[in-house]
């Protein structure tokens, strides 16, 4: 199996959200993050939004505040302070958040340093420890572009019109891509015969589905949450194809248990086809068990790339990531041992 040279192998973050210091290593193509409530699973996904393009990075972070956390960015003055750990607004000047990671090819470190005006931040970007590049960027509501979609997808924004626009623009116009998407979707929805957008390209809001023996096409949202979720994930994968990674919060929400194994198989195969590293969260033991079952059917190449990252809070309130490879998490699950932390 070919994995992208952009895949993150290890990742460290300092002073971000609840993490004074947090690290994960030995990451794979598929990384399922588990842990107790409030241990920081979604914060890890937010940290993984890190990019050397400071505007895209800020946009992703602000999007996560607005969509994932329901924080009104416009009414908050010191927006960037929301991303600092245990630092009051008055103390954040010149304090820094840092993200560092190794891919197969490169080491990258990105620091955010808050200036006097808490919304004006300096970005220090180092690649392979050489030539720190300093970029200043103003953090505001204007950083959120209307048409761009961060690569972190929350369960709550799965019905976004972004997927309809992307479908119309990047998939519908290409017969082979559309046919492949429908063929994949048929695994969960065998009666689907066709998909088309309500309008073309950027003005599209809805994807319509035609089904066998039913005359009238209906919006995908009406077919069911799990099906829409899978369709949207497949569209996102297509959109982010060959770009770094995609983060899926509460990946299994809305998926019925009887479809969960096929859901996993489709998702993991799509991740490989599109060369996208996956980081996902779940609370569900059922979801973890089907992840294992899907991998046992997909074979050794997939298993070698699968991880479960268990986040655990230590007595000093720091968070430690335990990494389980396929062999290890299969063993623990078969024995009935708990690997989701919180015990």
Partner 1 sequence: MKVHFFVEGDADKSFMMALFPQLPPESIDILNGKDFNDKNILRIKEMFVLGKKVCLFIDADKDYDSRLEYYTDKKAEIGDYNLFLMPDNSNNGNLESIYEAIAKNTSFWTCFETYNNCIESLNYKRTLPKSKVYAYIEALRDNENSKDLFNKTNFPKLINQHFDLNHEYLKPLKDFVNSHISQ
Which residues are at the interface with partner 1 (CB under 8 A)? 312, 314-315, 320, 322, 327-328, 331-332, 335-338, 342-343
> Least separation, in Å, of the C-beta of 328 and partner 1?
6
Cβ closest to partner 1, residue 2 vs residue 317:
317
Question: Kind and range of the H or E element at 121?
Answer: strand 120-127
Return the SS3 of 9: strand
Tokens describing residue 257: 């248990």
Q: In the bound complex, what is the minimum distance in angstroms from residue 31's beta carbon to partner 1?
A: 18
Q: With residue 153 as reference, give the H or E element that holds it.
A: strand 152-153
Could you tell me the smallest distance in angstroms from the CB atom of residue 313 to partner 1? 8
Q: Confirm if 44 and 24 have CB atoms less than 8 A apart.
A: yes
Output the smallest distance, CB 312 to partner 1, in A. Answer: 6
Q: CB nearer to partner 1: give 202 or 331.
A: 331
For residue 39, the number of C-alpha atoms closer than 13 Å in the C-beta half-sphere is: 23
Strand order in the sheet with 214-219: 192-197, 207-211, 214-219
Would you state the structure tokens that stand for residue 310, as one six-digit string? 């268990």
Q: Return d(Cα 316, Cα 60) in angstroms, integer.
A: 30
Q: Closer to partner 1 by CB, 36 or 96: give it.
A: 36
Least Å distance, CB 342 to partner 1, is 8
C-beta closer to partner 1: residue 173 or 285: 285
Q: How far is the CB of 332 from partner 1 (least distance, A)?
A: 7
CB closer to partner 1 out of 293 and 313: 313
Burial of 297 (0-12, 13-18, 19+ CB in 10 A): exposed
Supply the minimum distance, in Å, between the C-beta of residue 15 and partner 1.
Answer: 22
Of 130, 110, 114, 132, nearest to 122 (Cα)? Answer: 114
* CB of 273 or CB of 313, closer to partner 1: 313
Task: Compare residues 243 and 325 and give the one whose CB is closer to partner 1.
Answer: 325
Please report, for residues 56, 61, 110, the alpha-carbon distance to residue 20 in angstroms, rounded to integers and kept in the order given: 24, 18, 16
Between 139 and 319, CB nearer to partner 1: 319
Q: Minimum distance from CB of 277 to partner 1 (Å)?
A: 24
Residue 325's CB is within 10 A of a number of other CB atoms, namely: 15
Q: From edge to edge, which strands make up the β-sheet containing 277-281?
A: 152-153, 245-248, 277-281, 30-35, 306-313, 319-325
Q: What angle do CA 256, 43, 317 make, to 5 degrees?
A: 110
């Amino acid at each position: 199996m070919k994995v992208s040279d952009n895949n993150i192998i290890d990742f460290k973050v300092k002073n971000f959200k609840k993490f004074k210091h947090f690290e994960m290593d030995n990451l794979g193509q598929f990384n399922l993050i588990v842990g107790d409530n409030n241990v920081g699973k979604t914060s890890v996904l937010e940290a993984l939004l890190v990019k050397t393009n400071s505007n895209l990075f800020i946009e992703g972070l602000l999007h996560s505040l607005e969509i994932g956390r329901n924080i009104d960015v416009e009414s908050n003055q010191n927006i960037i302070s929301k991303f600092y750990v245990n630092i009051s607004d008055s103390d954040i000047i010149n304090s820094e958040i840092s993200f560092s990671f190794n891919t197969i090819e490169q080491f990258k470190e990105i620091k955010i340093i808050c200036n006097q005006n808490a919304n004006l931040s300096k970005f220090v970007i180092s690649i392979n420890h050489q030539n720190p590049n300093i970029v200043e960027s103003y953090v505001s509501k204007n950083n959120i572009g209307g048409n761009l979609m961060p690569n972190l997808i929350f369960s709550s924004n799965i019905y976004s019109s972004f997927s309809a626009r992307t479908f119309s623009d990047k998939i519908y116009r290409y017969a082979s891509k559309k046919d492949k998407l429908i063929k994949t979707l048929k695994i969960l929805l065998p009666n689907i015969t066709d998909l088309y957008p309500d309008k073309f390209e950027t003005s599209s809001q809805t994807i319509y589905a035609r089904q066998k023996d039913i005359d009238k096409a209906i919006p995908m949202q009406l077919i069911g949450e799990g099906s829409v979720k899978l369709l949207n994930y497949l569209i996102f994968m297509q959109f982010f194809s060959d770009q770094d990674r995609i983060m899926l919060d509460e990946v299994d929400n809305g998926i019925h248990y009887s479809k969960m194994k096929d859901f996993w198989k489709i998702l993991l195969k799509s991740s490989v086809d599109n060369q996208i590293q996956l980081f996902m969260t779940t609370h569900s033991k059922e979801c973890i068990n089907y992840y294992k079952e899907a991998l046992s059917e997909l074979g050794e190449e997939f298993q070698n790339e699968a991880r479960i990252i268990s986040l655990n809070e230590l007595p000093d309130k720091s968070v430690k990531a335990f990494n389980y490879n396929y062999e290890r998490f299969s063993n623990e699950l078969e024995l009935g041992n708990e690997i989701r932390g919180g015990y």
